[in-house]
């Protein structure tokens, strides 16, 4: 789970609590009792869900190690049921002792509670699977678009009312001004155009990187970089504050590969 997505996980479990309270509260005729009871069971449900979906599935199922996946899944079921029973005993003994005789039978139905727990676990798994499929589709689309851009090998723009094609390998960087852009070539030539930098960015393959609201650079010509600047051959360009984290991440990864 990425820290940046923590709020989505919190919202998801709030929704689960709300849903379970509605279901149990309706049969118990008390949403308050249902809320307290679900709150006690929730740590077991969350632990089981994350262990199954973020450990067992990626480590064993996706790697086609089916024997270990099935074995550890059985162990997970046994341990989760054990903790569920421990919570039930704790509830009966300490929290509901004064009202034990009037307690709703659903609260002591271990099969029902186990069923609810594993429905949530597999529902979470379904959501994660769908999310992964969507992300994979986006990656495939991105790669196809990027391959199409690379196959062209040229950036086509309008300059001085003429359509010109500039080989990607000839571009050092592209700079945006108030009313135009300038493309600096490896031969130190400048080609101007009235097109916007944002529209140019969409035409470029991932060998180019936007580092500032005014600069797009050709990664193959990066000779050096630090926290604030990138050097393209002997030209130093600033890294924009809003682009900094992503730019430094890409540059460091590229530096490792090289």
Q: Among residues of the chain, what percentage have pLDDT more than 70?
A: 83
Closest by CA position to 80, among listed 118, 48, 112? 48
Q: Please, which residues have CB within 8 angstroms of residue 249's CB and are 6 or more apart in sequence?
A: none
200 close to 176: Cβ distance less than 8 angstroms: no
pLDDT of residue 149: 56
pLDDT digits (tens, 9 = 90+) for 191-245: 899 888 888 888 888 889 999 999 999 998 898 888 899 998 888 999 999 999 9
188 has a pLDDT exceeding 50: yes
Q: Among residues of the chain, what percentage have pLDDT more than 90?
A: 12
pLDDT of residue 151: 59
8 vs 15: CA distance, rounded Å: 11
Q: Which two tokens stand for residue 217?
A: 């650079």
pLDDT classification of 100: cutoffs 50, 70, 90:
very low
Q: Please, which residues have CB within 8 angstroms of residue 208's CB and are 6 or more apart in sequence?
A: 168, 171, 201, 216, 217, 218, 219
Mean pLDDT, range 153-163, rounded to an integer: 83
């Amino acid at each position: 789970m990425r820290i940046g997505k923590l709020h989505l996980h919190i919202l998801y479990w709030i929704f689960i609590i709300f849903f379970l309270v509605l279901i149990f509260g309706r049969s118990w005729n008390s949403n308050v009792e249902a809320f307290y009871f679900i709150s006690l069971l929730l740590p077991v449900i969350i632990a089981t869900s994350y262990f199954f979906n973020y450990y067992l599935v990626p480590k064993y199922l996706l790697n086609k190690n089916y024997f270990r996946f099935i074995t550890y899944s059985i162990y997970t079921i046994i341990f989760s049921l054990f903790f569920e029973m421990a919570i039930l005993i704790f509830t009966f003994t300490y929290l509901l002792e004064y009202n034990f005789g009037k307690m709703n039978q659903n609260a002591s139905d271990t099969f029902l509670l186990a069923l609810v727990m594993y429905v949530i676990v597999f529902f979470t798994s379904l959501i994660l699977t769908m999310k992964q499929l969507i992300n994979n589709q986006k990656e495939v689309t991105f790669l196809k678009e990027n391959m199409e851009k690379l196959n062209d090998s040229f950036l086509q723009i309008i300059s001085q009312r003429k359509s010109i094609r500039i080989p990607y390998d000839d571009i050092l960087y592209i700079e945006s001004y108030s009313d135009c852009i300038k493309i600096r070539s490896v031969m130190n030539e400048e080609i101007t155009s009235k097109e916007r930098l944002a529209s140019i960015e969409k035409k470029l393959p991932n060998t180019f990187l936007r580092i500032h609201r005014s600069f797009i650079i050709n990664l193959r010509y990066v000779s050096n970089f630090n926290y604030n600047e990138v050097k393209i051959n002997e030209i130093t360009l600033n890294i924009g504050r809003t682009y900094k984290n992503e730019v430094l991440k890409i540059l460091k990864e590229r530096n490792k590969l090289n």
